Amino acid sequence: MASRGFRVHRFLRSCDWIRLRPNLNRGFSSDAVPSQLERVGFIGLGNMGYHMAKNLITAGYKVTVHDIVDRQIKTWILMISSNDNTMKKFSEKGVPTKETPCQVAESSDVIITMLPTSSNVLDVYFGQNGLIESQNHLSPWLFIDSSTVDPQTSRKISMSISKCHLKEKKGYVEKPIMLDAPVSGGVPAAEAGTLTFMVGGLEAAYLAAEPLLLAMGKRTIYCGGSGNGAAAKICNNLAMAISMIGVSEAFALGQNLGIRASTLTNIFNSSSARCWSSDTYNPVPGVMPGVPSSRNYDGGFASKLMAKDLGLAITSAAEVGLESPLTSKAHNIYKRLCEKGYDSKDFSCVFRHYYSGKDEN
């Protein structure tokens, strides 16, 4: 353990990465940004990535952005208003934008990807004009994927990156490194800069990248080797989905038995049934302000993404020979919601659109 700790410390000192963590007001100058993390390429400017990139800019990082929407359906983008063009929002504020992931990599020390699906991630890394398409020598020394993907995808990309070389040696880093670092907290936490990062990969790289992650979040948790961050996120979302379904079913049953949802909420939150789905993200419209159920389930975490993540959990469980009957049932419920047209509604809509629960009056 001592020799391992020494190697980590030497790795950090050699690259001048031992600096103060970002303070909470997020208004500091670029002098507080570690030099080897300064130039950040951010790919994926959806509901989460847009706010994460903005927080990095506020923290003093030199950010270059690219959005896969512009890449994949550029013709369609030209037909919509400029207010909806996320890339244009950044360029109008003086933030460099690039047409391809490859172009982003050319001017970056670190790459962060925040994309909807495993196929999107693989395309950005290995597709035409991708980050490592037919390239043996790369400019970025660190790649961080914050997408929710299966552990196998994370490990495949990490292995491919480890076989590449750097155009310029960075301290003791001789080859590029990848971290899988999915997040928890949703859009509100992305906007507020209070995300939790679950990180897998080389521990020394995790420690070096921590200041960067804390410019977008409030907590980082090291989960172990490559793919373990992705595995942790899948397990988290599995538990979250089953919890939301269980709470919704209980509320629906209570309503049918003549108990108001607000009354049950008070009971749940002061007893053994208390959980995030009851005390923070209540699915019953009219019980809790500021959550998706209070605005017709708009915003938040889409049901189609929950269905996707549950599918990843089922695949992962099958690969290790684990029976997962509750995961399979939850997956079927969310697939049905998507088939009924509620794919873009927040996943808490299971209360209304699966159990036919009623609003609190």
pLDDT digits (tens, 9 = 90+) for 34-71: 778 899 999 999 889 999 999 999 999 999 999 986 44
CATH number of 39-225: 3.40.50.720
Mean pLDDT, range 172-181, rounded to an integer: 90
pLDDT of residue 11: 53
Q: Is the pLDDT at 21 greater than 50, yes or no? A: no
Lowest mean pLDDT among 58-62, 128-132, 205-209, 347-351: 128-132
Q: What type of residue sits at position 36?
A: Q
Give me 341's structure tokens.
């047209």
pLDDT computed for residue 335 by the predictor: 98
What's residue 360's pLDDT? 87
Q: In angstroms, rounded to a whole number, what is the distance separating the alpha carbons of residues 132 and 126?
A: 6
233 catalytic? Reply is yes
In the numeric block, which tokens belong to residue 230?
Answer: 């992705």
Greatest CA separation found in the chain?
A: 69
Amino acid at 4: R
Adjacent-strand bridge partners of 221 = 198
What tokens does 32 get?
């507080």
* Residue 66 near residue 104, CB atoms below 8 Å: yes
Burial 222-243, CB ≥16 within 10 A → b, else e = bbeebbbbbbbbbebbbebbbb
Top pLDDT among 356 and 299 is at 356
Domain boundaries, the chain: 39-225, 232-355
Catalytic hit among 156, 233, 308, 345: 233
Q: What is the mean pLDDT of residues 304-312?
A: 96
For 115-161, the pLDDT digits (tens) are 989 999 999 999 989 998 766 789 999 999 999 999 999 999 999 99
pLDDT above 50: residue 30: no
The pLDDT value given to residue 86: 86
The CATH homologous superfamily of the domain defined by 232-355: N-(1-d-carboxylethyl)-l-norvaline Dehydrogenase; domain 2 (1.10.1040.10)
